[in-house]
Chains A and B, each alone.
Chain A
Amino acid sequence: MQERRELSPTKINQDLLRFAFHTPLWFWIAAIVLGCIFGAGLVSFILMLIFGLTLLGYTNIQLWGILITNFVFWVGISHAGVMISAILRLTQAEWRRPVTRAAEVLTVFALATAATFPLIHTGRPWRVPYWVFPYDFGRGIFPDVRSALIWDPSAIFTYLSSSAMFIYVALVPDLAIARDQSTGWRRQLYGLLALGFRGTARQWKLQTIAGILLSGLILPVFVSVHSIVSWDFAMAITPGWHSSTFPPYFVIGAVHSGVSAVATLMAILRWIFHLEDYITPDHFDALGRLLLVVVNTWLFFFLLDMVFGIGTRDPNELAIWELRIFQQPFNVLFPVFFITGYIIPMGFWVFKKVRRNIKIMFWTSLIANVGMWLERYIIIVPAVSDKRPFTFTWIPVYQVQPIEVILVLASFALVSLGVLLFAKFFPIIPLFDIKEGQVLKQEIQVGRVRVPGIIRE
C-alpha cells in the first residue's frame, strides 16, 4: 500500500542527513525560544523549593492536581513509541519504516519529562532518594514495595531504559552511514558511537532479529507502565478512583493520545525537514485507520468505567460522577473533553479524504490530545475534591495558579526541545529501514495491473 517512489541511496543519505550536518537559522530561534520556556519552568520549580507548595492551587483535600494530570498525560504520550514501532514491527506493517524512530524518540523524552513531575510535585523533593531507591541500609530506611508509588518508578525506569536501548540498537547502522558521510569531529563522534558497524550479513541478521525480539519484549513493559500508573489511583479506595478497569482504560487512552501525537510529530517533521518523499499521505491514512480502532476501543473502556461506576449505585461514587459531569467547572470541561477527545477525531478520521489530508490530520490529532489531557484532568481532579460527605469538605474551588500553567508549558517545551536536539544530531528517520523498503519492494503481475508487493521472510 506504499506509494512507490524510486529513491537512490545517495538521495536518501542527503535528504535524511542534511539537518544533522547543516544548521539552519530557524533551529537556533526554535531552540532559544523553547529553552526560555523551559527556563521559566525551572525558575518556578526553584520558587516552589523556596516557598513550598503554597504557590500551587492545592487545598487540604485537593492534594493532587494539574501536575499529576500532566504526569499521566506525558506517560500516555510516551506510549506512542512502542505502540508504533513494536506493534508495527511485529505485524511487519510496511508503512512503519519512516515512523518508528521519531515515535521512539518521542517516547523517551516524553517519559523523561513525565518522570520529573511526581518529583517536583513532592513536598520535599530533596528527600526523593528515600523514595526511589533502597540505599539507606545504615538506618534501615527502605522504600515500601507495598506502595503503588514504588511500582511506579520501577515501571518507568524499566520502560525508559528499555526504549533508550531500543533506540540505540536501531540507531547503530544509521550512525555508521553518518560516519561514512561526515568529516571532522562529526566523523569521530559517529564513528565512536557506531562501534565500527559495517553491515556484514551477520550484523544485519541480528539487527533484523533485534527489531522483532526487542519489540516483543518491550510490549509487555509498555502495557505494564500505564497500568501501574493507573494503579496509583485505582489502589486508593477513593470513590471515582477505585475502579478495576483503570489499567486497560489508561493504556488504550495512552495509545490514543500517543499515536495522535505521533501523527502531529510526523506532520511537523514533514514540513520542517521537507520529507515529502518519505512521509506520504499513505502514512497518515494508515495512522488514521489505526487510530479509528484505538479511539473506539477507548470509548468502550470509557463507557465501562462510567456505566459500572454509576451502576454501583454507591452514593459517593454517584456524587463523583455528578461532579465530573454536571457541576462547575467540570460541566464545561466534560463536553469539551468528549468532543475533542472522541467526536472530532472519530468524525474526521472515518473519511479517507481527511485521513490523506495532512493539514487536517495535524490539527485533528492535536485536538485529540487536548481532549486526552482533559480526560486525565477529569479522572484525577474531581475524585479527590469530594471524597466523602463531610461538612468540612464542601467542594473546594481548585484555583489553578499561574505557576502550574508555567510548569505544564515548560514540560511541552522540554519534550519539543529534546526531540529537536535529537533530530539535530541524529537521523530522526531510519535510513537503513527506508533503504530496506526500497530493496524488498516487488510487484506481482495480475492481468494488466501490477500489484505492489513486498518480500516477506
Chain B
Amino acid sequence: MATTAGGALLGLFQDPVKVADAIDSLREAGFDGSTLKTYTDTPYPEGAFGEDPENHRLYVFPFMGALCGFSVGLLITIGTQMAYPLVTGGKPILSIPPMINVMYEGTMLGAILFTVLGIIFESRLPNFSKAPYDPRISEGYIGLLVSRAEGKADVAERAMRAAGAVDIVTQPGSGR
C-alpha cells in the first residue's frame, strides 16, 4: 500500500495494553525504538508503553536564565544609580539593599523565561510536521507512529493490526 514520503504510518489503538504489545512486536520485526512514537491526549506514566526512555536537559535552562536575569538586574540597578548620582534621603549613592530586591525579580524573571523557552525547545516545538495524524487521538485513541518504514510498511501494518490496531492512517497530517 502507498505510504507517505517519510514512509511513516500511524496505527490507532483504543487499549493502551495493545499499544505496548504492538511496540514489542514492532521491535521484534526489526524496527528501531527511535522510530516508534506514541501519540496520546494525556500523559501516561513514563515507560507505560515500553517506549524508549526520553532524556532532556531542561534543568540547565533555569540556571542560565537566572544568571542572565541576575546580571541584567545588576547592570540596570548599578547603572541607574551610578549614571545619575543624586543623594536621596542621605542614603549612599550605591545602596545595596534596594538593588537586591530588584535583582531578585530580575533573576526570577530570567529563570522563568528561559525555563519556558526550554520547555518549548525540549519538546521540539513548534513542529508543524506532515507526519500522519488523526484527530481521534484527542478522543482517547492512542496513536503509534512508525516513521522511516520505507518498504517495511506492510510489515509494520500487519504487526499493528495483529496487536489490535483499530485503524491505520497513512495520508499526511495537515501540519497544524
Interface centre among A195, A207, A457 (most CB of B within 10 A): A195
**CB pair B135 A181 closer than 8 Å:** yes
A206 lies within 8 A of chain B by Cβ:
yes
Q: Does A146 contact B (CB under 8 A)?
A: yes
Contact-residue bracket for chain B: 35 or more
List of A residues within 8 angstroms of B56 by Cβ: 202, 205-206, 209
Does A439 contact B125, Cβ atoms closer than 8 Å?
A: no
Q: Which of A147, A209, A218 contacts B112 (CB 8 A)?
A: A218
Q: How far is the CA of A227 from the CA of B75 in the complex (A)?
A: 24
A436 and chain B: residue at smallest CB distance: B42
Chain A window 10-53, contacts with chain B (Cβ cutoff 8 Å), 1 for yes, 0 for no: 10010000000000000000000000000000000000000000
* Interchain nearest-CB distance for B91 vs A (Å): 6
Q: Is the CB of B54 within 8 A of A151?
A: no
Is there contact, CB below 8 Å, between A150 and B111? no
Stretch at the interface among A124-132, A184-192, A268-276: A184-192
Map CB proximity to B onto A417-446 as digits: 1 under 8 Å, 0 otherwise: 000000000000001100110111000000
* B20 close to chain A: CB less than 8 A: no
| Interface contact A217-B62, CB-CB below 8 Å | yes
Q: Is the CB of A436 within 8 A of B43?
A: yes
Residue among A192, A220, A228, A435 making CB contact with B41, cutoff 8 Å: A435
Grouping DSSP codes into helix (H, G, I), strand (E, B) and loop, the A interface class, with mixed when no group exceeds half, is helix
Measured as residues with beta carbon below 8 angstroms from the partner, the interface class of chain A is 35 or more
CA gap between A203 and B83 in the complex, in Å: 46
Residues B76 and A134 in contact, CB atoms below 8 Å apart: yes
Q: Does A8 lie at the interface of the complex (its beta carbon under 8 Å from any beta carbon of B)?
A: yes
Chain A: minimal CB distance from B80 (Å): 4
Cβ A213 vs Cβ B45 within 8 A:
no
B44, A141: Cβ atoms closer than 8 Å: no
**B105-160 interface with A by 8 A CB criterion:** 105-106, 108-109, 111-113, 115-116, 119-120, 122-129, 133, 135, 137-140
Chain A residues with CB below 8 A from B174, complex form: 191
Specify which chain B residues have a CB less than 8 angstroms from the CB of A192 in the assembled complex.
176
Tell me if B112 and A217 are in contact (CB < 8 A). Answer: yes
B37 within 8 A of A: yes
Q: Does A343 contact B (CB under 8 A)?
A: no
Quick one: which of A162-210 are within 8 Å of B by CB?
162, 165-166, 168-169, 172-173, 176-177, 179-181, 187-188, 191-192, 194-210
Listed in ascending order, the chain B residues whose CB lies under 8 Å from chain A are 37-46, 49, 51, 54, 56, 58-59, 62, 76-77, 79-81, 83-84, 86, 88-89, 91, 95, 98-99, 101-102, 104-106, 108-109, 111-113, 115-116, 119-120, 122-129, 133, 135, 137-140, 174-176
Q: 24 A–B contact pairs at CB < 8 A?
A: A9-B138, A13-B139, A134-B80, A144-B81, A144-B88, A151-B102, A173-B42, A177-B41, A195-B125, A195-B126, A195-B127, A196-B176, A200-B39, A201-B44, A201-B54, A206-B58, A206-B119, A207-B123, A210-B119, A214-B116, A228-B101, A432-B41, A432-B42, A438-B42
